[in-house]
Amino acid sequence: MNEKVKAFWSGYGRTCFHNAQEVADRARVTLEEAEEGIAELLEIGAIKTSGSWLGLPAYRHSHGHDFWKAEA
Whether residue 65 is predicted with pLDDT greater than 80 in this model: the reply is no
SS3 label, residue 6: helix
CATH class of 3-64: mainly alpha
Whole-number CA gyration radius for the chain:
11
Confidence of residue 4 (pLDDT cuts 50, 70, 90): very high
DSSP string, 22-72: HHHHHHT--HHHHHHHHHHHHHHTSEEEEEEETTEEEEEE-TT-HHHHHH-
Q: What is the pLDDT of residues 10-54, one digit of tens each?
A: 887 777 788 999 999 999 999 999 999 999 999 998 899 988 877
Q: What is the pLDDT of residue 72?
A: 58
DSSP state letter for 11: T
| pTM for the full predicted model | 0.83
* Calpha distance 52→15 (Å, rounded): 16
